[in-house]
A and B are shown apart, each in its own frame.
Chain A
Amino acid sequence: MKHTLIAWMRDKPGVLNRVSGMLRRRNFNIDSLQVSHSETPGISRMTFVVDGNERMVDQVISQMRKVVDVTRVEDISSKPSVVRELALIRVQTNAETRSDIVQMVNIYRGEVVDVALESMVVQIVGSEDRVDSLIELLNNFGIIEMVRTGRVAVVRGMTERKHRRSTAVWRARANGYENMDEERLTTGGV
């Protein structure tokens, strides 16, 4: 299963290297990784997607917490959250295909952000699935160039604690942990 994790870290030179180096040498399978500023000056925020079972994700989080510059790590996969990705796609066009493409982009609530005679640039923001499926469609017309960010995510503003507890209990049982401690339960089994 794919897990979305968020890590906050001190914005020090080389911190990304520390984290990515650790992930590489521990042989963790990372699907995407995205770093940016957070709301706190001096703290960067990393969103990354790990493909693996519960135990492996637990390991990623524990190892991540050992990196001195990492101040906090959270697994938000089981929480209601807003997850987005952005892609910019340059697609081949001509007089015949242009309107078809625009129509598709509109259905996907994307935007055409640049038009030339033989190509246009499409911007799409959405879940990974939505981005994937638009890309698949546009592939039929010929994609010249493409760039996409990794997954970024924030947790929805609801009664988080209650939710954390219930999902963590479920995950703990599914994972064979009978006696989860309170700390693990309330931090979402992390």
Chain B
Amino acid sequence: MTEANLDGQQASAAEESIPMTGAQMVWEAFVREGVKTVFGHPGGAILPTYDALASYEAAGKIHHVLVRHEQGAAHMADGYARATGRVGVCICTSGPAATNLVTGLATALMDSVPVVAVTGQVPTNLLGTDAFQESDVVGVTQPVTKHNYLVTDVSELPMILKEAFYIAREGRPGPVLIDICKDVQNATGEFRYDMTVDLPGFEPWPTVDMSKIQQAADLINQAERPLILAGHGIKLAGVSRELLEMVERAEIPVVTTLLGAGDIPETHPLSLGMGGMHGEAYANRAVQGCDVLIAMGMRFDDRITGSLDRFAKQAKIIHFELDKAEVGKNVVPDLPVIGNLGETLPALLSLIEQRKHPDWLAELNVWREDSGQTDIINYEVDELIPPYVIRQLWHSTKDTERGPAIIVTDVGQHQMWESQYFVHEFSGQLLTSGGLGTMGYALPAAIGAQMAHPDRLVWAVVGDGGFQMTLQELAVLKQERDLPVKIAIINNGFLGMVRQWQQLFYERRYVGTPIVAPDFVKLADAYGIPALAVRKPEDVSGAFKQALETPGPFLIDFRVKEELNVYPMVASGAAVDQMIRRPKPAVVQGFSGVEPSW
């Protein structure tokens, strides 16, 4: 091939630039990025961009979901992203709208969720004048985004849009915000989208040091009491199959973090479930008893480690992690393996030998049986309690035609009960705000997840406190043609987790925790959503059945026992094996029809 030919080919391969307005560029870039759904709320400074949306909606290229509060938009984009692994997109106007996004962006940043947020900004000539609905959005969102942009020149917009998606998606995912001045949206510029992103300071995928993998494999192959601590990274890298293969080949038990729920199926004999503050006692004892701790795609959050001074001191710690800043931040590993788990885990797998650890597993099983006897919850058979509701939820969803449900939880006691009593079967089954602990997350995130998977069964499990933070998004279910999100409110009349801490550490002074709620059934009715309240244990399974059989959304208000604590529990600052156990049962018996298999 001659040089001329080569040049000719390159010239024809290059995209021709098209003149369009900044507003059109936004949607054009979304289409090129494969975005089909955006969550947003219009307003003055973003009006030109909304106007340009009309033709994209008419052509069926982009569907806009109108939220009732911008926080909802960010959580919906987050839920959409978590449910698909793709970048979630939200859009809103300047000032108060943009500041309303902050909680959602912070949630996404803490949990490594790829989100692109577009906000309108006052025109460039008004910047810094305290114009109507002006706020320093780039300043405000800087600590809660992976990166952000203020666009004051339309010629920069296409590249910024491309960079934003690139940064949000590549490496450890996170939210990116683009603040676009109104005059830039109106201005006309040249649009093309085949440029190469050139960010010299952005290294999303560090080079893997293969010698580290060999060292890790040696440690693992020689271990007598190995344990894997698996986190969100397994899901982000999409390597739960490889993880399972390694676990089975080398017979290594697995403890997960909250966001790692389902990294291997929790029905698997080698799954010990969640560890940490409200993890099972045997899972935490395993952490404190292993000789090699293999941490994968997790960041040693204080909720999983308890006291750092006493965390797995006996073990050699291997830390597989993409983000170098997480290595040595909380726990200094003996062997750091920095890199994408999608590369490191398959490489490791090829070096892992077949092993059996009968003694270690036997010991774990003793602990498991022991905690099964002593950690069993004190059931009072005539009362409705959340663990029972969660267990029934699992029973009602596991064998449906639509496949296993996606569960979206809010934050608090119900979140912990869900993680303890629901049996997660796959990585990504549970969507929850782990790092930031954002109350009000569940309903909007469930809407996002349901928009991503219209045919899947999506349950929002939410407390009466958290639900009241974002319940206005119920209207979205109606507006989106009866979006079939099912909602289970675990209603105990308290901000339960705070009340639990007040009971345990503040001598039962319940300050600010008793919470009055509206009649949720009437509320749902006002929104046109079928609902019922459940007060007795024997009505639970029937209610779940009715929810499944009713097309569209459904809400169940579970009026559960008021003062019940989540156990086991590691008090803040204690070592993870110093647990407050579940109280010994006065009555060890389940309700009729439920196996006591906690």
A interface residues (Cβ-Cβ under 8 A, vs B): 9-10, 13-14, 17-18, 21-22, 25, 55, 58-59, 62-63, 65-72, 176, 178-179, 181-183
Q: Contacts A63-B325, A66-B323, A182-B209 hold; do A71 and B200 have CB atoms under 8 A apart?
A: yes
| A22 proximity list for chain B (CB < 8 A) | 143
A59/B142 in contact, CB under 8 A? no
Contact with B201, one of A10, A63, A176, A183 (Cβ below 8 angstroms)? A10
B201/A68 in contact, CB under 8 A? yes
A63–B323 CA distance with the chains assembled, in angstroms: 10
A181/B142 in contact, CB under 8 A? no
A58–B326 CA distance with the chains assembled, in angstroms: 11
Contact with A69, one of B201, B323, B329 (Cβ below 8 angstroms)? B201
A59/B202 in contact, CB under 8 A? no
B201/A67 in contact, CB under 8 A? yes
| B336 proximity list for chain A (CB < 8 A) | 181
Q: Closest residue to B327 on the A side, CB-wise?
A: A62
User: What size tier do the contact residues of chain B reach?
Assistant: 20 to 34
A177–B352 CA distance with the chains assembled, in angstroms: 25
A43–B146 CA distance with the chains assembled, in angstroms: 21
Chain B nearest CB from A146 CB (Å) reads 31
| B310 proximity list for chain A (CB < 8 A) | none
A68/B325 in contact, CB under 8 A? no
Q: Closest residue to A64 on the B side, CB-wise?
A: B325
Contact with B328, one of A10, A58, A70 (Cβ below 8 angstroms)? A58
A182–B208 CA distance with the chains assembled, in angstroms: 12
Q: Closest residue to A69 on the B side, CB-wise?
A: B201
A13–B136 CA distance with the chains assembled, in angstroms: 13
A178–B219 CA distance with the chains assembled, in angstroms: 15
Chain A nearest CB from B167 CB (Å) reads 6
| B209 proximity list for chain A (CB < 8 A) | 181-183
| A10 proximity list for chain B (CB < 8 A) | 200-201
B interface residues (Cβ-Cβ under 8 A, vs A): 138-139, 142-143, 146-147, 150, 167, 199-203, 207, 209, 211-212, 215, 323-325, 327-329, 332, 334-336
B332/A55 in contact, CB under 8 A? yes
Known A-B contacts: A59-B328, A66-B325, A183-B207. Give 11 more (CB < 8 A).
Answer: A10-B201, A13-B150, A55-B328, A55-B332, A65-B325, A66-B323, A67-B201, A68-B146, A68-B147, A179-B334, A181-B209
Q: Closest residue to B326 on the A side, CB-wise?
A: A62
| A182 proximity list for chain B (CB < 8 A) | 209
B139/A17 in contact, CB under 8 A? yes
| A67 proximity list for chain B (CB < 8 A) | 201
B138/A179 in contact, CB under 8 A? no
A176/B143 in contact, CB under 8 A? no
Closest 5 pairs between A and B when the two form their complex, measured CB to CB = A62-B325, A71-B201, A68-B147, A71-B200, A70-B201
Chain B nearest CB from A19 CB (Å) reads 11
| B324 proximity list for chain A (CB < 8 A) | 62, 65
Q: Contacts A63-B325, A67-B201 hold; do A17 and B142 have CB atoms under 8 A apart?
A: yes
A181/B167 in contact, CB under 8 A? no
Contact with A59, one of B138, B143, B167, B329 (Cβ below 8 angstroms)? B329
Q: Contacts A13-B150, A21-B142, A21-B143 hold; do A179 and B335 have CB atoms under 8 A apart?
A: yes
| B139 proximity list for chain A (CB < 8 A) | 14, 17
A18–B334 CA distance with the chains assembled, in angstroms: 32
B143/A25 in contact, CB under 8 A? yes
B328/A14 in contact, CB under 8 A? no
A179/B325 in contact, CB under 8 A? no
